[in-house]
Amino acid sequence: MKPWDLFLGLAAVGLCLVLGAFFLHWFPASEGADVGVVKRPVVPTAASPDVVIARSYGSAQLGERMKTDDSVADDVTFLVVAALRGHCSPGKAHDLPRMAVLAGLPVLSASGGGDATQPQLARDVTAAVNDIVRQATCKGPLTLRIGAYTRVVDPETYAEAFPDSYFDPGLTVVPAEFKGVPLAQRVTDSCTRVAYAMLPLDAPRAWQCAGLRGSARSRLLQLCRAEGASPDHAAVDMRNAVGRLPTTCQ
């Protein structure tokens, strides 16, 4: 069975588990942009490539939910891109879910992952993701249509800008701290783990805090990677870097 078939066929169960269990089970380990901005679905133009329409049962209801709940829309977009990467590039299938765990993203908390009272929503999400990945091509941006909801997403740019792109899938500029460093490299970097452990992307925040926290994470990475610095001294400097943030942004 191909990797993407396994993911799609079992996603209904995974969506009913908490985030950590979902990713550890289906994506076992292999060896700052502003996130507080209110988003609106991107309306495609006539020239938008690869329009993919979800025609699965429940897609109309799911589309309505996505229009009114950004967190559900973000979850569905994440699952589509993650499943599509598994389909098109099996060697990259683990990168998005592993980074989601490292960054503390609230993935699946909205679309049934942490709420067993929403089994129908979980089934609708699974069916839509399955249907979209069956139709989608492996190159270029996609125009996703799920019921009345429409969003344009470029899977490659989404991955390059991840995890920030989870909250803003329409990002077209990769955050400066990520430029030139592929997701696969960042997800295995021990300093990435440290930076996101101290300042996780566990929720959308006002743009002021998002920017400050993004800059602070860059500083944490520099301190962690500094040659010749003792672990104890670096730890103190990192705690001080976080402590300098306004209390409401820490």
pLDDT digits (tens, 9 = 90+) for 58-110: 999 999 999 999 999 999 999 999 999 999 999 998 999 999 999 999 988 76
Contacts of 63 (CB under 8 A, 6+ apart): 54, 145, 146, 147, 148, 149
Q: Is residue 193 part of a domain?
A: no
Q: What average pLDDT score do residues 132-156 get?
A: 94
Q: Is residue 182 part of a domain?
A: yes
Q: What average pLDDT score do residues 233-250 get?
A: 91
Q: What is the pLDDT of residue 229?
A: 73
Q: What is the pLDDT of residue 110?
A: 63
24-37 pLDDT tens trace: 433 444 333 333 33
From 94, 95, 84, select the one nearest 160 (Cα to Cα): 95
Q: Is the peptide bond before 119 cis (omega within 30 degrees of 0)?
A: no
Q: What average pLDDT score do residues 35-51 get?
A: 50
What whole-number distance in Å separates Cα of residue 234 and Cα of residue 139?
42
Q: Are residues 160 and 220 in the same domain?
A: no
Q: Are residues 216 and 180 in the same domain?
A: no
Q: Is residue 196 part of a domain?
A: no
**172 lies in which domain range?**
3-188
Judge whether 21 and 129 are in contact, CB under 8 Å: no
Q: What is the pLDDT of residue 178?
A: 78
Q: Are residues 184 and 216 in the same domain?
A: no
Share of the chain above pLDDT 70, in %: 77
Number of domains in the chain: 2
- 3-state class of 27 per DSSP? coil
Q: Are residues 209 and 167 in the same domain?
A: no
Q: What is the pLDDT of residue 243?
A: 93
From 167, 173, 177, 170, select the one nearest 155 (Cα to Cα): 170
- 3-state class of 39 per DSSP? coil
- Structure tokens, 134: 């069956």
Q: Are residues 33 and 151 in the same domain?
A: yes
4-14 pLDDT tens trace: 333 333 333 34
Q: Are residues 235 and 171 in the same domain?
A: no
Q: Are residues 61 and 140 in the same domain?
A: yes
Judge whether 75 and 159 are in contact, CB under 8 Å: no
Does the pLDDT at position 43 exceed 60? no
**Per-chain mean pLDDT for the chain:** 80
Q: What average pLDDT score do residues 140-159 get?
A: 94
- 3-state class of 194 per DSSP? helix
Count Cα neighbours of 117 within 13 Å in the Cβ-side half-sphere.
Answer: 0
